[in-house]
Amino acid sequence: MIKKWVPALGIIVLFGLSFTACPMEGEPDGPDRTVDVVVVGSGIAGSMAALSAREAGAGKVLLIEKRAIFGGTAKLSQGGFATAVVNAKNNPQESLNDWKAWMQDGDSGYPDYDKFLSVAGQAGDAVEYLRSLGLIIIGQVSGGGNALMTKLEETITAQNIEVLLGCEAMEITLDNGVVSGIAAIYRHRSFRIKAKNVMLATGGFSRNPELVAQWAGTNPGLTYVVSLADSGSAGDGILMARRIGAALYSNAFTKIAGLQFSAALRGISAFAQPALLSPAPAPLSTQILVNNEAKRIMDEAIGGSFGNVSSYNSGAAYIMIKDGKPPYYILYDADSGPAGMMDLTASLEAGAALGNGEVLKAQTLNNLAVAMDVPAGTLKDTVTRYNGFADSEDGDFGKHHSYIKRIETPPFYAVKAYPNSYGSMGGVVTDSNGRVFDEAGNVIPHLYAVGEVSNRDFYNESYIGGASLALYSTAGRIAGKATGGK
């Protein structure tokens, strides 16, 4: 049941949430706002949507962001822009063919090629717009996501689009069953935004373990994935839309990228983030990775490194998730360090000294197995067999012998490695203009969703590097235009 605002009581009860009184007229943050478009989320999709709504004639555009920092995951990104998406404007058929070829792996019922082409066909305009702001984009934004989002924040400010940082949307409000705005919390107080159109751009759900388990947790390995996305990616927009009847995509998944050491090891040079393994200098690929049965599961030198970020389907992280037997350990001995690069042994020692279980050390493989809680006989067999390949070829996974280095010099170390993700695929069902559908397949008037909050249609079971910024910037631009002035 949709509960209504009851401002006369000074307390608002909405879906079980209590809101204290709104800021009063004259208070620094009051009164509540009435706008044409409220954009929820300051990532790439939300920023582009806000700017394009303004460009299309929307008078008052308000962008709210729950974090204290503008830019979301987009700000953390490397700034890669998928070339095929950008080229789709001039060469749609070729781009579509590329996309189809890349998307062959999997049988998920996605992508929606028509929607992809509709959005990607306008990506050239989005890139031209970004370039007109002074950004240099040649397959990647010069300066990465930080430069991209800094420029967009500056442009938004210059366009007199109001931005409220630290303002968290809690619910989509309805008047007589029609979307009428957002109920938010701002500076610990309730805050109502009345809007003709609501634009959800809240990112994905990869930082919400419960939602990952619920929507994407079909494989036990997934519970082991560490998301590198911004902490704002908690699925808020998806949940809010769901509560007013929006349909959700099936077969959601997280966007697996490379490997990650624990954040608890971040202060140690060899384990600083992002993990050196992704991509790794070749010598690091001489290590082996074992699962909780002490068994190898891959050629650890895939693409010359663990977890080659450009081949999401064959990378180490993806294989680990399919294997689904965490924890995973990378084994080192006293002689593992790549000559001249760093003192790896010092890092291993520093990690072991933390005593938090992320780096284990033992004088024998047997004792290491006990510390790892894996079968000692299997670990010994795995290492012995691997060492035997040093004189021939990897008879199990085909690892090139130049990457095989015996593990034989005590002490031995085992370092926990985690697959990481760059976000999620799924969200609320939308059309190519970002309009949200309900479960009966009807458009929910005045409600839009763009970016990772609604991205399932663009992918099958894997991800293509650089697709997000290219597609979500375009989707934001399209949807902002659709709301503009209406």
Ligand X SMILES: Cc1cc2nc3c(=O)[nH]c(=O)nc-3n(C[C@H](O)[C@H](O)[C@H](O)COP(=O)(O)OP(=O)(O)OC[C@H]3O[C@@H](n4cnc5c(N)ncnc54)[C@H](O)[C@@H]3O)c2cc1C
Contact in structure between 64 and 182 (CB atoms under 8 Å)? yes
Nearer to ligand X, 62 or 352 (CB): 62
The nearest distance, CB 225 to ligand X, in angstroms, is 12
Q: What does the alpha-carbon distance between residue 338 and residue 284 come to, in Å, rounded to a whole number?
A: 7
Of 37, 53, 77, 129, the one binding ligand X (CB under 6 A) is 77
Concatenated DSSP letters for 169-207? Answer: EEEEEEETTEEEEEEEEETTEEEEEEEEEEEE----STT
Residue 203 touches ligand X, criterion: CB under 6 A: yes
Distances (CA, A) of 193 to 134, 157, 297, 423: 33, 19, 52, 28
Q: How far is the CB of 206 from ligand X (least distance, A)?
A: 8
> Would you say 419 and 226 are in contact if contact means Cβ atoms under 8 Å apart?
yes
Is residue 434 part of the contact set for ligand X (CB under 6 A)? no
Structure tokens at 29: 């943050």
Q: Per CB under 6 A, which region of 226-234, 259-267, 299-307, 410-418 contacts ligand X?
A: 226-234
CB atoms within 10 A of CB 303: 18
Q: Which of 289, 308, 285, 307 is nearest to 297 (CA)?
A: 289
Is 442 exposed, middle or buried, given 0-12, 13-18 or 19+ CB atoms closer than 10 A? exposed
Looking at 407, 469, 479, 482, which residue binds ligand X (CB under 6 A)? 469
Part in contact with ligand X (CB under 6 A); list of ranges 40-48, 96-104, 279-287, 367-375? 40-48
65 part of the interface to ligand X, by CB under 6 A: yes
Q: Applying CB under 6 A, which of residues 99, 422, 448, 459 lies at the interface with ligand X?
A: 422
Selected binder of ligand X within 351, 426, 427, 451 (CB under 6 A): 451
Using rule CB under 6 A, residue 230 touches ligand X: yes
Does the protein bind ligand X through residue 419 (CB under 6 A)? no
Residue in the structure block whose two tokens are 């442009």:
155
**Cα separation of 333 and 407, whole Å?**
6
Q: Which stretch binds ligand X (CB under 6 A): 64-72, 127-135, 208-216, 374-382?
A: 64-72
Q: Which candidate, 42, 76, 74, places its Cα nearest to that of 273?
A: 76
73 is a site residue for ligand X (CB under 6 A)? yes
358 binding ligand X? (CB under 6 A): no
Footprint on this chain of ligand X (rule: CB under 6 A): 40-46, 64-67, 72-74, 76-80, 168-169, 201-203, 228-230, 232-233, 236-237, 422-423, 451-452, 466-469, 472
